[in-house]
Amino acid sequence: MAMMSAASSLCLPPLFLLLLLPLLLAITSEAATLRITNQCPYTVWPAVVPGGGQQLDPGEAWVLNVPAGNTSGRIWARTGCTVHGEGNVSCQTGDCGGLLACTGYGQPPNTLGEFTFGGFNGMDFFDISVMDGFNVPMDFLPVPIQGRAGCVKGPRCSADITSQCPTELKALGGCNNACRVFKQDKYCCTGSAADNCSTTNYSVFFKKMCPDAYSYPKDDPNSTFSCPTGTDYQVVFCPLINQAISPSAENPVALPAPIGPTSMKPKSSTVRRIVTILAPVGSFILLTIVFLAAYFIRKWRIHRQLEMEEEEEFGELQATPISFTFQQLKAATEQFGNKLGEGGFGSVFKGQFGDEMIAVKCLDRAGQGKREFSAEVQTIGRIHHINLVRLTGFCAEKSHRLLVYEYMPKGSLDRWIYGRHDNYAPPLDWCSRCKILTHIAKGLSYLHEECTKRIAHLDVKPQNILLDDEFNAKLSGFGLCKLIDRDMSQVVTRMRGTPGYLAPEWLTSQITEKADVYSFGVVVMEVISGRKNLDTSRSEESIHLITLLEEKVKNDHLVDLIDRNSNDMQAHKQDAIQMMKLAMWCLQVDCKRRPKMSEVVKVLEGSMNADNNIDHSFVVATNVISSVPPLASHVSGPK
């Protein structure tokens, strides 16, 4: 609810502050009582933040005293819960991290009651929201007190939405919100729809079932109800239709005032004049309060919706790596003081957590970095292979997005094959180069052929190949990856990756995992030749390594491409030429003629030979040279 942050985020001209100061000073600090009743035929586990949680069997009630002052929070029901020991419970809907007494919000779908007690001008604000979906019918009503003029109206959501939920929104134990399922701007009121968001078929469905509830971020602000501070409230799960709340017996019934000459005495003209003057002023102040409350409610809802989408995205993952806090990683990297390198999505810093050395990548570009973060956590966080870099943890705290990897002391492969070695180290020998290529081939083979869904890496390059002290290689950089169902031959996607390593089929956007095979072929040629694929410091005819390969193979001068800075490579010329034949097999323009990565592994291990019946044209005209920076990723994560 926007009213939760309205007072803290209010930023108005001095005149408005002066007008509102008397209102803020008038706020009362009476405590409130929440009586939570379970009328469902099954057990529910109510949760209140702040407040904790409780188990309620059918017919049971839980009375919660809300402290005096400005208090904002949420209340919801958890269902399908299993106890795992004292204080621990996992639930089908509304789970809050496995705790009985919740300290954070629950996982959708869940029907939400939202409240701010002690708000503007001594008023409470409260509502019911189905923006997180629906799991249990709910009423959120004030408890009237006999003899006192007060509130009697509150939001009701008594319909069983779950039983009528659209098929595409159905979830175990409830009904999801469309934003959560489709993650599109028009349903989430984000991006292109942030300023002109309107109802959809799904929000209309929720509104029809629960007219009093908020159904999307920019719903009618009249769905927020208000009562004087100090009012007590009754929250009922699975309420009876048209159920009324009985008045409290806190005060005796007041006797009617006697009717006589005194009570019938006309008001004086002075009183009438005062009323005439104060009525418009009071109306203006009331309208101002309502307008500001509605404005901040809408603003907060949009902001909270974005935050929850990101929190849910990583909270749902099973068996994920460790979730670090930002302060933990700041301390582990000594205030991000030891920078290892910088890439298209952010910078990488060396650190130590406990006895383990770590590498921490800080994503610093909002749109692109968020997508890379999502893709890496959801992909590499679920798979494990000796030749894939291990993601040990992540941080998704507020605006901070960090990834924590195992530390690879020798850094990335490009440092060792482009003649820029640390401490003037000698060029890699033949055996080390073969080992590195074999390890990367095995990692790609695992992604393509051994996972539940085929995973296309889509950014294979030396900068994404990391080395340990023994030059064992591991593939990293999963920010652009794409999951492909086993029954799909190809997937349509927007162009992404790094110029110089892009397969020709990117021109059509019909992509398979064979795009990685082409990129691997480019990497093989770079490793054998000890140079970049695109090197503008060379003569014009030598700028593009793969174009040069076409010329040398046709003239039978492949030996000219072997790294001349390495005596060991020159001593293994024939082996290097055989390796280049494997690279040419991988570089076939027709993706169907390229080998599987498992076949590449067999060639590298000597159990089969590379195909010699290949086309010696490896590039197409529009794919020869590009000087533009790496293309932006448009992936939102594996689907």
Task: Answer yes or no: are the C-beta atoms of 130 and 105 closer than 8 Å.
Answer: no
Mark whether 499 and 389 lie in a shared domain: no
What DSSP element (H or E) covers 436? helix 430-449
Mean pLDDT of 489-496: 54
Q: Which two tokens stand for residue 146?
A: 């006999």
More confident residue, 95 or 298: 95
Lowest-pLDDT choice from 164-173, 220-229, 412-421: 412-421
Tell me which of 298, 315, 332 is where a domain ends.
Answer: 315
Taking CA atoms, 56 is separated from 46, 63, 280, 577, in Å, by 7, 11, 49, 74
Q: Tokens 């005149």 correspond to what residue? A: 15
CATH number, residue 93 = 2.60.110.10
Tell me which of 406, 435, 459 is where a domain ends.
Answer: 406
Mark whether 376 and 345 lie in a shared domain: yes
**Residue 521 pLDDT grade (very low, low, confident, very high; cuts 50, 70, 90):** very high
**Residue 604 pLDDT grade (very low, low, confident, very high; cuts 50, 70, 90):** very high
The answer to the question of whether 361 is labelled as a binding residue is yes
Taking CA atoms, 519 is separated from 182, 212, 558, in Å, by 32, 56, 20
**In this structure, what are the phi and psi dihedrals at residue 328, rounded to the nearest 5 degrees?**
-60, -45
What's residue 13's pLDDT?
41
542: left (phi over 0), alpha (psi -120 to 50) or beta: alpha
**In this structure, what are the phi and psi dihedrals at residue 594, rounded to the nearest 5 degrees?**
-80, 155
Sheet holding 356-363, edge to edge: 322-323, 391-397, 400-406, 356-363, 346-353, 339-342
Please count the CA atoms within 13 angstroms of the CA of 98 that sit on its side-chain side: 6
CA dihedral 173, 177, 181, 182 (to 10 degrees): 160
Neighbours of 271 (CB within 10 A): 10
**Residue 260 pLDDT grade (very low, low, confident, very high; cuts 50, 70, 90):** very low
As for how many domains the chain has, the answer is 3
CATH number, residue 566 = 1.10.510.10
189 inside domain: yes
More confident residue, 250 or 46: 46
More confident residue, 241 or 55: 55
**In this structure, what are the phi and psi dihedrals at residue 507, rounded to the nearest 5 degrees?**
-65, -25
| Domain ranges, residue 523 | 411-623
Answer whether residue 23 shows pLDDT above 50: no
258 inside domain: no
More confident residue, 512 or 422: 512
Mark whether 306 and 402 lie in a shared domain: no
Mark whether 357 and 444 lie in a shared domain: no
Active-site residue, from 95, 459, 516, 563: 459
Mark whether 113 and 204 lie in a shared domain: yes
What's residue 396's pLDDT?
83
From the list 116, 41, 117, 55, the residue with the least C-alpha distance to 87 is 55
Catalytic annotation on 459? yes
Mark whether 455 and 592 lie in a shared domain: yes
**Residue 257 pLDDT grade (very low, low, confident, very high; cuts 50, 70, 90):** very low
Mark whether 401 and 458 lie in a shared domain: no
What's residue 8's pLDDT?
37
Helices vs. strands in the chain: H and E counts, helices first: 15, 28
What's residue 218's pLDDT?
79
What's residue 310's pLDDT?
59
Mean pLDDT of 310-325: 61
- pLDDT > 90 fraction of the chain, expressed in percent and rounded: 46
- pTM reported for the whole predicted model: 0.51
Q: Tokens 């040419």 correspond to what residue? A: 584
Mean pLDDT of 494-520: 82
What's residue 24's pLDDT?
43
Mark whether 363 and 458 lie in a shared domain: no
Q: Taking CA 91 as the corner, what is the angle to CA 88 and CA 93, rounded to the nearest 5 degrees?
A: 145
Mark whether 306 and 330 lie in a shared domain: no
Mark whether 338 and 393 lie in a shared domain: yes
From the list 478, 479, 493, 485, the residue with the least C-alpha distance to 453 is 485
pLDDT tens per residue across span 368-424: 456 667 766 777 777 889 999 988 888 888 778 888 999 999 999 998 998 654 546
Residue 259 burial by CB count (10 A; 0-12/13-18/19+): exposed, middle or buried? exposed
More confident residue, 17 or 116: 116
Q: Tokens 């507020």 correspond to what residue? A: 398
More confident residue, 236 or 481: 236
**Residue 489 pLDDT grade (very low, low, confident, very high; cuts 50, 70, 90):** low
326 inside domain: yes
**Residue 298 pLDDT grade (very low, low, confident, very high; cuts 50, 70, 90):** confident
259 inside domain: no
Mark whether 387 and 401 lie in a shared domain: yes
What's residue 265's pLDDT?
43
pLDDT tens per residue across span 32-55: 899 999 999 999 999 999 888 999
CATH number, residue 355 = 3.30.200.20
More confident residue, 211 or 13: 211
Task: Show the beta-strand stretches assigned E in 410-509.
Answer: 411-412, 454-456, 465-467, 473-475, 482-484, 491-492
Q: Calculate the average pLDDT of the chain.
A: 81
274 inside domain: no
265 inside domain: no
Q: Tokens 């699975």 correspond to what residue? A: 238
74 inside domain: yes
**Residue 277 pLDDT grade (very low, low, confident, very high; cuts 50, 70, 90):** confident
What's residue 15's pLDDT?
40
Task: Answer yes or no: are the C-beta atoms of 582 and 602 closer than 8 Å.
Answer: no
635 inside domain: no
Mark whether 293 and 202 lie in a shared domain: yes
